[in-house]
Structure 1
Amino acid sequence: MIALVGMLVVLASVCLGYSLEGGAFSVLVQPTEWLIIGGAALGSMLIGSTRNSLFLLVRGLPRVLSPARIGREEYLETLSALSRLLSKARREGLMSVESDIEHPTSSPVFTMSRWLSRDKEAVAFICDTFRVYLVTGEAQEIEQLMDIDIQAMHQQAASPGHNLGKVAESLPGLGIVAAVLGVVLTMGKITAPPEVLGHSIGAALVGTFLGVLLCYGFVGPLATNLENQAMERQAFFAVIRAVIAGAARGATPFIAVEYGRRAVPEALRPDFTELEAMLRG
């Protein structure tokens, strides 16, 4: 929703400023310029993409309008679920959580956290790590496995923003291509009246305008949005890692969860008393 508001602000600001200067919007309506720039940008994206990266980009774009929110409450839910899992393992033995990690959809440990239970990627990360935890208690190996997993997930999550950013970088150049083609056509009308030449040159310059506007006003910010979402996601998994790594090193469930709380970004970090009250509740 914020991204949509931003797009409307960009469009309204440009149109309002152009209108106040007495600009005619009919001059900006140049379907051929849109065709050249849009088609060339799409083609260059296809050239530079693999099938997997293109799939990730198409799947990732809708997240710009409805990103998965990871806020204070979501972090509290996740820390609470991990606390329940670790407390059960400490109270009843490590093997007691085997049914929870093998069947998370029916486990109260996860279903009590409505948001976390819907995050299949996070649940899979927790369960896969605990499967290794049941087999080996080596804290260093568990931490290394989590690092590898987080890095792989981050690379995949960052791929759409990276690829879209490359498309944004090409748009000003493609706008110049469209403008040059318009100038070439204008040179063929060199003997035409000044008003015809002026209209033709104005239409050619629309290509440069569109390329720059699309790059810095829309496509570039969309790429930045996807990159920010990937970084927020990486920070979320780093919190889960901190909790499980603390437990693997022998920390009590409460201290392990405190490791995770300290790993939460400061702007979203729950207070110590807030987390303690939730865990007691």
Structure 2
Amino acid sequence: MLGIVGIITVFGMIVGGFLLSGGDLKIVIKALPFEMMIIGGAGVGAFLVSNEMAAVKQTLKDLGRIFKGPKWKEADYRDLMCLMFELIKLARKNPVAIEEHIESPEHSRIFLRYPQILADKEAVALIADTMRSASMNYDDPHQVEEVLEKRIDAHIAEMSHSSHALQTMADGLPALGIVAAVLGVIKTMGSIDQPPEILGKMIGSALVGTFLGVLLAYGVVGPFAAKIKATVEEDAHFYRLIREVLVANLHQHSPNICIEVGRQNTPAHNRPNFSELEEAIKALKKEAA
């Protein structure tokens, strides 16, 4: 919703300011389709040239995140800590029983309680792979923490590709606007024998290209890239919380302490309070009993 409000504000203030200052939109509207074809078409073409098909598909998918915001909400963080509590407690109580849950999470009664988390392959893989390694005695907390940090950084870099691709596109749009403007000037010079009022309109149409290139770069595509980057960084806290809980588990803290470590490392705006999380864990204990 905030993204939609932002876009409306950008265009509303620009058009409103232009009209209030006495500007005439007729010239802009007449030139807009052709300038958009030149600038937008060239921008999309350059985007396709500089990216693989997988990156293009990922970018199109990530455009929805501009308006939806971060994937993980406060309830998801609470669910994650409940999931981790169940897995850690089971692993401590019966190391053999945990295998069915980490080998086939999609069939695990524990994971199935949390479909939102189960649907995220990276989150499930982080949990399952680390707990599987611990069962094979790869349980040095410092080494595991380093491995998890590198894995999370690699995932963030992969998810940030859309942002980088859009930012590169935004950086090129003003130059493409100049290309469109130069073409308009060339067209004008070919009609130099026309009266001044016609030449003025033709020059105005040419300048729409520069205007449009700068507007798209700094008013649309650039902010889109920044929003995707911020969303990816926000969602990364979810994976780092998994790392903190798993490392605390390898330090042999009690399951409750492991979860508290995770709670305290949750961003403040998504952090469940202590009593709320405690009640959720008590409910799990009652259900297990």
**TM-score band w.r.t. shorter chain:** over 0.9
1:260 to 251, 259, 262: 262
Letter aligned with residue 168 of structure 1: A
Counterpart contact for 2:71–2:235, Cα < 8 Å: no
Q: Distance in 1 between matches of 2:73 and 2:54?
A: 30
1:33 shift after superposition? 1.1
Distance (whole Å) between structure 2 residues aligned to residue 118 and residue 50 of structure 1: 25
Higher mean C-alpha displacement, 79-88 vs 67-76 = 67-76
**Partner of residue 61, structure 2:** 59
What's 1:99 paired with?
100
**Is the counterpart of residue 113 in structure 1 residue 114 in structure 2?**
yes
Contact 1:161 1:223 in 2 (8 A): yes
For 1:7, the aligned partner's letter is I
Task: State the one-letter code of the partner of 1:21.
Answer: S
Confirm or deny that 1:9 pairs with 2:5: no
Q: Which residue in the other structure is 2:133 paired with?
A: 132
What does residue 70 of structure 1 align with?
Answer: 72
Instruction: Report the alpha carbon displacement of residue 262 of structure 1 after superposing the two structures with TM.
Output: 1.6
Q: Offset of 1:185 from its aligned partner?
A: 1.7
Contact 1:77 1:115 in 2 (8 A): no
The alpha-carbon deviation at position 95 of structure 1 amounts to 2.4
TM-score, reference length from structure 2: 0.90
**Secondary structure in 1 matching 2:97:** helix
Range with bigger deviation, 57-66 or 143-152: 57-66
- Alignment partner of 1:26 is 2:26: yes
Deviations 1:197-224 (A, max 9, x none): 1100110110011011111111011101
The match for 2:148 among 129, 146, 149 is 146
Structure 2 residue runs of 5 or longer lacking an equivalent are: 284-289
Cα RMSD over matched residues? 1.8
Which residue does 2:44 correspond to in 1?
42
Instruction: Indicate the residue corresponding to 2:218 in structure 1.
Output: 216
Q: After TM superposition, give the deviation of residue 150 of structure 1 in Å.
A: 0.5
Q: Distance in 1 between matches of 2:117 and 2:53?
A: 30
Structure 1 position 183, deviation (Å)? 1.5
What is the rounded CA distance, in whole Å, between the counterparts of 1:52 and 1:67 in structure 2? Answer: 22
Q: Secondary structure at the match of 2:253?
A: coil
Equivalents in 2 of 1:223, 1:255: separation in Å? Answer: 38
Q: 5+ unaligned residues in a row in structure 1: which ranges?
A: none
Is residue 133–residue 142 contact of structure 1 (8 Å, CA) maintained in 2? Answer: no
**Equivalent residue for 2:171?**
169
Identity %: 36
Alignment of 1:243-254 (within 5 A): 243-254=245-256
- Give the drift of 1:67: 4.1
State TM-score, norm by structure 1. 0.92
Cα offset, 1:121, TM superposition: 2.6
Q: What displacement does 1:114 show?
A: 3.6
What corresponds to 1:159 in structure 2? Answer: 161
CA offset digits 1:175-207 (Å, max 9, x no partner):
111112211221222221111011001101100
Report which stretch shifted further, 55-64 or 122-131: 55-64
Once residues 105 and 52 of structure 2 are traced to their aligned partners in structure 1, the CA distance between those partners, rounded to angstroms, is 34
Q: Provide Cα deviations, 1:1-43, integer angstroms capped at 9, x if missing partner.
A: 3323322222222222223233333211222211111122122
Hey, what's the Cα distance between the residues in 2 that align with 1:151 and 1:52? 20
Listed one character per residue, the Cα deviations across residues 140-173 of structure 1 (whole Å, up to 9, x for unaligned) are 3322321222111111111100110010011111
| CA offsets 1:216-262 (integer angstroms, 9 cap, x no match) | 11101110111011101211100110000100111111111111112
**Higher mean C-alpha deviation, range 144-153 or range 43-52:** 43-52
Deviates more, 1:59-68 or 1:196-205: 59-68
Q: Which residue of 1 aligns with 2:286?
A: none
